[in-house]
Structure 1
Amino acid sequence: MPDLPTQACVVIIGGGVIGCSVAYHLAKLGWTDIVLLERKRLTSGTTWHAAGLIAQLRATANMTRLAKYSQELYGDLETETGVATGFKRVGSITVALTDERREELHRSAAMARAFGVEIEEIDPAEIKARYEHLNIDGVTGGVYLPRDGQGDPANIALALAKGARQRGALIKERVKATGVARDGRRITGVDWASEDGCHGHIASDHVVNCAGMWGREVGRMLNTNVPLQACEHFYIVSEPIEGLTQMPVLRVPDECAYYKEDAGKIMLGAFEPVSKPWGPIPEDFEFDQLPEDFDHFEPILEQAVTRMPMLAEAGIHTFFNGPESFTPDDAYHLGQCPEMDNVWVAAGFNSIGIQSAGGAGMALAQWMQDGAKPFDLGDVDICRMQPFQGNKTYLFDRSAETLGLLYADHFPYRQKATARGVRRSPFHAHLAERGAVFGELAGWERANWFARDGQDAAYRYSWKRQNFFDNVAEEVAAIRTGVGMYDMSSFGKLRVEGPDAEIFLNRVCGAQVAVPVGRIVYTQFLNDRGGIEADVTVTRLAETAFLVVTPGATRLADETWLRRHLSDERVIITDMTPAEGVLAVMGPRARDVMQAVSPNDFGNSSNPFGTAQEIELGMGLARVHRVSYVGELGWEVYVSADMAAHAFETLWQAGQDHGLRLCGMHMMDCARIEKGFRHFGHDITCEDHVLEAGLGFAVKSEKPNFIGRDAVLRKRDEGLTARMLQFHLKDPEPLLYHNEPILRDGEIVGYLSSGAYGHHLGGAIGLGYVPCAGESATEVLASRYEIDVAGVRVPAEASLKPLYDPKSERVRA
């Protein structure tokens, strides 16, 4: 019978590299009574057959930070535990076969420098010099990262497991978690059964789902949603090749292939464009592989033998097909599950589990220790997943695409092609009839731009000006000079009501929400460090009822934040998002349109900026909020779903007399960045202090006892260490997206948190933080600024005030 305790501080389910890393890092923080349960043997799921590629550079600064941590950890583990991890820095080369891919790599190289990652752009001749076996026909360029590496996946996991055991963690193999006991929003314990027929129960304060490709089912057992799907992943290993010495890891994403030298052999792996979802997983799965499918792999191999001629001479020693888990957006799942208060997850690593495991385990352990994220983890926070995304049909369809997207061109604005149309606003059909080109966010189909008559209503992706560039310019012009209308139904709408609603929201929000009925308050949810957990508006609908409007992607996270901060207040929180459609009518002529459809008064005396009112609209009813995310006079029109179609038709018909133009989300992003409005998740996150973000005006520190108040007062006393600036490129040609390095007087000091084209201002606009400890605003602005765009330094105008309408006179007109 397994020697298992009846009580533990934490039970970790799953003994792959991720579960072992979480156990190791919790133990390193001093946690005791750690129990890890593995259904079969450690590493027997996905870890044992992983390729073991360990890269540093990821898509964001914090994901790069975690990958770099993993490398440093693996280099030290052998000394600590005596288990050889096989980690060695062999470097990596990624090559481009098109001009578009070369620009992507050059942009990633600029980003790497901003993130502190050593990287070098290299031409085809330099690639050949570093990788002599490569056929460079068609190669347009590449990048070299000297500190990238490779390792032995199973031994890395076993080293982490040994390190955890050395610090007191209990790791049990051949013991399966079979069920749980639950009390409200907490799991109180885990049932287990061993292969020899024994069973028992462990009462536990925390449970961590590290079950890998079983993560969805274990999540369901824990009353949580963990959307992931196992897919077949193929690679071959050659026979030994005479004279083959250690080579850098090589990636040829345009041919969906990667190459790794190992012990005189070459491994060729693939991320094919249309992958093969797999399942259900057999109960006895352990160190297993899936049936060969040479026909599926053959197109990759045909290109590979041309690209790497020595493969044509070498025989195939191993043809391997093993399952790995993929998520709907190719980002792994980490953090505290929104449905439960003591259930955590680290799963769904999309073929980068080895390079991610060290950092992910460290970040999750610190999060569990502190009860707060150690830094911004929004890219991977499980709260980003919507409830419907756990649907099996959805996951099967989406995962056929996501595996291949790892090596597809990562074009800006690229949309997923699979598993679309799940969530549609009440205006979807009306917009589609009028040329809308839809993108997807959190499952919502959103009109991103509108095609002209005769224009192909589809994206044509590029790193240069895309086919919708001029369309968006015209939409921005309509908003700036006339009137435009766009659909905001996907934004989250949380009704907070009850006798203590005002008290509760005043504790959670930085601003003062004790306002008259009909007032709209712009505010943030702050954490104890003064960082921004949510960026919202709060509208007082009645004495005991408020509407909190959130970004569409963070509705669940924001609702979860509210629920977790309820104490004994008499408050009910209800998600109203699907109940109301929202149309934004914006621009200098917006008042003309509104007065044409309603007898209500939209003048400044009765409906000033920052107020809401109930109105008649056509033959129906609506509520209008006079706010703006595009920096213009306008109203957001909230209408119940049953009257939404009528509202659209009424506004559209009346708008024809005033030049009303339909607009999309790309327009909104371009207009908001001209006005310097922050974008949550990019410009403002949980680690960005509200004062350094330039949002001190939205915090009322004279108000007592709100979350983050002490941190705000402390920062005001100590002074700012960074300021958010707005940048306008002086050359109108280059485009900005995000993560481009900011250079101050010739030195990299940061990177853009967001970027878009300012069609009205006539050039690309970016926002980003610049260090400023001990400096005045005048001193910060006195410097010379440039933005690195794919290796080219472009002079930029910097400003602390919005470059468009700095006094906000237009929204108050």
Structure 2
Amino acid sequence: MKTHVKALVVGGGAVGTSIAYHLARAGWDDVMLLERDELTSGSTWHAAGLLPYFNMSFATTHIHDHSIKLYKTLEEETGLNAGFAVVGNLRMAQTDARMDEYMLYATTAETCGVPFEWLTPAQIKDRWPLVRTDDLKGAIFHPTDGYINPADVTMAMAKGARQRGVVIERKWQVDSYTWMGDHWDVGITKMVEKGGNLVPSEETSVIHAEHVVTATGNHAQRTARLLGIKIPAIPVEHQFIVTEPDPALVEYRKTHDQHPVLRDADAKWYVREERGGWILGPYEKGAPARFEYGVPDSFRADLFPLDLERIEEEYMSMIHRIPSSETVGLKDDFNGPICYTPDGNPLVGPAPGLRNMWLAEGFSFGITAAGGTGHYLAQLMTQGEAEIDMASLDPKRFGSWITTEYAARKNEEAYDHVFVLHHPDEERPACRPLRTVPAYERQKARGAQFGHVNGWERPNYFGPLDAPDSFDHDSRSFRRGGWWEYAVAEAKAVREGVGLIDASAFTKHIVKGPGATAFLDWFTCNKLPKAGRINLTYALTNMGTTRTEFTIIRLTDGEYYLVSAGAWTDYDADFLRKAAADKAPEFGYIEIQNVTTQYGVFAIAGPKSRDVLNAVIKDADPDTALTNKRFPWLSMREIELGMCPVRAIRVAYTGELGWELHHPIEMQAYLFDLLEGAGKAHGMKLVGARAQNWLRQEKSYRAFGNELGRDATPLEADLPRFVDLSKDFNGKGAMEATGIRSKCITLLIDGPSDADPWGREALYAEDGTRVGRLTSGGYSVAFRKSIGMGYVKPEHAVVGKVLKLKMLNQLWDATVTEDSPYDPQNATIRKDA
């Protein structure tokens, strides 16, 4: 056995073999794959092999698309038939809301070039007469996907990997990982058969690997313990049944091709043909998480007992949809573990806190994602970045605060939400509230309806207090939901008066030490601020794209306060710490402190915000404390509001006169009461995140994870004013070499009267050519129409140019506007007393 390799892949399912195959395909000629049992012996062997395109995520859609295209080429390369039945995928809708969901999805599919068709109930019945359609609204049909044999496609990728030099070793278990400074020593043990079980032998070895990738599936919790990290990938039971041959289907097939994979999302199941019968796969409520603390040694290619009562409703709905199946008996059943994560998306990318350790865990749709995951993860490993932004799948999107109990309950929720309507404004309830600020109960008592950001409860909007029982706060919509009118009122309050926003979820770091200034100057692309001043800046990837956005406040010559997006705390912390450790020998000692939970943040904004603060500020001369002369725009001062010390920053994400008030978290309830009391005289309104999101689009403020990401440079985001080309910084050369492939724009949209864009929609030129996509969307109270931000080809980023936006399956005029269409001169932000 080889003992020195460039990359070691741990796990021989579809995902692991794809990664090994793609690393070799990318040019790494020294790759090994280890499997503790046999290839495909994990969840791969009992997977149904479906290949659904449907996904609301831009990145995941690309991953699925690559898989489907790759699998069609494997036989030509390897000589092995992967068993791909290209029968298509028919996703039916029983309600208008479900059709709205499909229309939102469809425009995402268009941005990725995924083909689809719309079908009416009559067209469905004409093509597939065994399907009952009298209660359907319609369907979306993907003609290019279908289903595949999971074992066959895995073996085909394994053969392709071997042909490219990958060594695959079976019956070896990893027992330890040790970082040696420039490589991993991976301790392994030979596994042997004993009494039907797989047990460790006395034969051991050590593999020296420059890189390690874990794709351990159901064994992710064991992997997490060996690595000393948290991996919130825990399996959930998934069962499906296979019927005896259906005589009506057998007769139909004498003259017709196979049915597509049928999905009745409102009934929570998929059905496909299987040897003259049907496979039913339900996603029912009540499916339990399993193996929270690891897979028993006795569990190999095993299954759980079937629980037919749990899927009775789904079974009866299959009979309703395919009446001929009513008299058909059951032939076989499967109930096996399928790994999930709290949001249902896999964990793909660098492991937190570790060097050259890569995770590919938590695949609930592993066969669909395997091919694309291998392709894009290989790009990350061999080139430094993938051609698509993989941040939405990064393992560090889940913070270190996550526990086993949290992951298990959220994974169960993710399972039973597979076919739940995926409203863009949905808020899933499991494990909430968990992370709350001291003012949580006060805000709740005032009608706050909370969203969930990195575990934090954050107000999305404030509902009515006069008739709370008459308002359904859970009313979701693909159009303007029940919350919309309250968000409009909040946005108007900021534009016309004053609003108070809880922004405590912001990520906050202290960077200090003798090397801090030189490090941050290299780490970010803008000039560093002087003491007491702030700058907006970006940390780039080695490929020159935007890795993170920071607001940097210089506290002293060697100490800085960094504020970044609340959803990405561990993501940013890991990036900062690894980068600082790399540069410390050059720049000197650098200390990184994550102080997110030490400080709460209130953002106060609006023309009357200074009036509210003047009423509570404690200063030798309170009349001048907040004037431009003493407290100019883009500066920071340590002030006192009543008895609360506050690090006040004169910025406003809303584009109005305002301040961010960073305060000791333990004093937040006191500060809330103080500000609320002072605000009454000025009509101050509590404001949620949805109104704030609309307001920042009126100012063309880019948001990380939307306009800013690892697939575009700051120059492509059209932010040259925040890039200092006179200095050297990480990623500068790559950024300049990339040029402008696309450009970020803001659009005002003449859309439907009952809907706004969500930031997933395709953009077209007048001649029908697709030229870009939205990354944010919403409503503008200033312009009284829909607004959006996104990327288009540079020749279309011309102010006044009219493009077409695809929304609700129609094209709407979308006019490119100037950057910061509301108050482009920033007069309101700079307003003096």
Given the two structures, how large is their TM-score scaled by the length of structure 1? 0.96
Match of 1:810 in 2: 828
1:522 counterpart (514, 536, 542): 536
Which deviates the most, 457-466 or 359-368?
Answer: 457-466
1:670 maps onto 2:685 in alignment: no
Match of 1:740 in 2: 761
1:177 & 1:708 partners in 2: Cα distance? 36
Per the alignment, do residues 186 and 646 of structure 1 end up closer, same or farther by CA in structure 2, a change over 3 Å counting? farther
1:709 counterpart (732, 735, 755): 732
Q: 1:491-528 CA distances to partner (integer Å, 9 max, x unpaired)?
A: 10011000121110010111011x32110100111223
1:253 counterpart (265, 270, 290): 265
* Aligned 8 A contact 1:609 1:811 in 2: yes
What is the 5 A alignment of 1:101-180? 101-180=98-177
* Aligned 8 A contact 1:186 1:343 in 2: no
Unaligned 5+ segments in structure 2 are 193-200, 620-624
2:108 & 2:356 partners in 1: Cα distance? 36
1:602 maps onto 2:623 in alignment: no
* Aligned 8 A contact 2:55 2:105 in 1: no
1:542 & 1:40 partners in 2: Cα distance? 57
1:697 & 1:464 partners in 2: Cα distance? 36
Report the AA paired with residue 208 of structure 1.
V
Shift of 1:430: 1.9
Shift of 1:226: 1.4
Match of 1:393 in 2: 405
2:791 & 2:825 partners in 1: Cα distance? 22
* Aligned 8 A contact 2:462 2:687 in 1: yes
Q: 1:223-266 CA distances to partner (integer Å, 9 max, x unpaired)?
A: 23211111110111111232253111111110001011133221
1:230 counterpart (229, 235, 241): 235
Which deviates the most, 432-441 or 452-461?
Answer: 452-461
2:750 counterpart (730, 746, 763): 730
Secondary structure of the 2:304 match is: coil
1:274 & 1:293 partners in 2: Cα distance? 11
1:363 maps onto 2:382 in alignment: no
* Aligned 8 A contact 2:656 2:829 in 1: yes
1:781 & 1:603 partners in 2: Cα distance? 35
* Aligned 8 A contact 2:185 2:206 in 1: no
1:508 maps onto 2:523 in alignment: yes
Per the alignment, do residues 757 and 73 of structure 1 end up closer, same or farther by CA in structure 2, a change over 3 Å counting? same
Match of 1:343 in 2: 357
Match of 2:453 in 1: 441
Report the AA paired with residue 545 of structure 1.
E
* Aligned 8 A contact 2:172 2:188 in 1: no
Match of 1:646 in 2: 670
1:182 maps onto 2:153 in alignment: no
* Aligned 8 A contact 2:600 2:664 in 1: yes
What is the 5 A alignment of 1:293-304? 293-304=307-318
2:411 & 2:58 partners in 1: Cα distance? 26
Secondary structure of the 1:447 match is: strand
Report the AA paired with residue 492 of structure 1.
T
2:27 & 2:658 partners in 1: Cα distance? 55
* Aligned 8 A contact 1:756 1:766 in 2: yes
What is the 5 A alignment of 1:543-692? 543-566=557-580, 567=583, 568=585, 569=587, 570-600=589-619, 601-692=625-716
1:788 counterpart (797, 802, 806): 806
Secondary structure of the 1:621 match is: strand
Shift of 1:338: 1.9
What is the 5 A alignment of 1:231-380? 231-241=236-246, 242-245=250-253, 246-279=258-291, 281-350=295-364, 352-380=365-393
1:699 maps onto 2:714 in alignment: no
1:480 maps onto 2:495 in alignment: yes
Q: 1:173-225 CA distances to partner (integer Å, 9 max, x unpaired)?
A: 22111122234797433333422431122122111110001113212212232
Shift of 1:743: 1.7
Per the alignment, do residues 731 and 29 of structure 1 end up closer, same or farther by CA in structure 2, a change over 3 Å counting? closer
2:457 & 2:142 partners in 1: Cα distance? 38
Report the AA paired with residue 336 of structure 2.
G
2:666 & 2:353 partners in 1: Cα distance? 30
1:157 & 1:16 partners in 2: Cα distance? 7
Q: 1:569-626 CA distances to partner (integer Å, 9 max, x unpaired)?
A: 3110010000011111110000011111113401100111100001111023111000
Shift of 1:533: 0.7
Shift of 1:712: 4.4
What is the 5 A alignment of 1:15-164? 15-164=12-161
* Aligned 8 A contact 1:450 1:457 in 2: no
1:130 & 1:548 partners in 2: Cα distance? 59
Report the AA paired with residue 340 of structure 2.
F
Report the AA paired with residue 460 of structure 1.
S
What is the 5 A alignment of 1:201-212? 201-212=206-217
Match of 2:441 in 1: 429
Which deviates the most, 163-172 or 580-589?
Answer: 163-172
Secondary structure of the 1:250 match is: strand
* Aligned 8 A contact 1:13 1:37 in 2: yes
Per the alignment, do residues 31 and 711 of structure 1 end up closer, same or farther by CA in structure 2, a change over 3 Å counting? closer
Shift of 1:370: 1.8
* Aligned 8 A contact 2:87 2:144 in 1: yes
Report the AA paired with residue 462 of structure 2.
F
2:27 & 2:632 partners in 1: Cα distance? 56
1:33 & 1:231 partners in 2: Cα distance? 35
1:754 maps onto 2:773 in alignment: no
Report the AA paired with residue 371 of structure 1.
G
Secondary structure of the 1:769 match is: strand
Shift of 1:796: 2.1
* Aligned 8 A contact 2:49 2:147 in 1: yes
* Aligned 8 A contact 1:178 1:193 in 2: no
* Aligned 8 A contact 2:37 2:191 in 1: no
1:432 & 1:183 partners in 2: Cα distance? 50
Per the alignment, do residues 220 and 130 of structure 1 end up closer, same or farther by CA in structure 2, a change over 3 Å counting? farther
Per the alignment, do residues 644 and 183 of structure 1 end up closer, same or farther by CA in structure 2, a change over 3 Å counting? farther
* Aligned 8 A contact 1:109 1:121 in 2: no
* Aligned 8 A contact 1:97 1:139 in 2: yes
Q: 1:154-178 CA distances to partner (integer Å, 9 max, x unpaired)?
A: 1111111111122222212221111
Report the AA paired with residue 15 of structure 2.
I
Structure 1 vs Structure 2: percent identity of aligned residues?
33
Q: 1:431-482 CA distances to partner (integer Å, 9 max, x unpaired)?
A: 1222211110111111111112122473211112211111111111111111
1:772 counterpart (794, 800, 803): 794
Shift of 1:782: 5.1
1:207 & 1:554 partners in 2: Cα distance? 24
1:690 & 1:442 partners in 2: Cα distance? 25
Shift of 1:60: 3.2
* Aligned 8 A contact 1:475 1:663 in 2: yes
How many residue pairs are counted as aligned between the two chains?
A: 799
Match of 2:196 in 1: none
Unaligned 5+ segments in structure 1 are none
Secondary structure of the 1:678 match is: coil
Secondary structure of the 1:591 match is: helix
* Aligned 8 A contact 1:244 1:265 in 2: no
Output the aligned Cα RMSD: 1.7
Secondary structure of the 1:88 match is: coil
2:763 & 2:115 partners in 1: Cα distance? 17
Shift of 1:666: 0.9
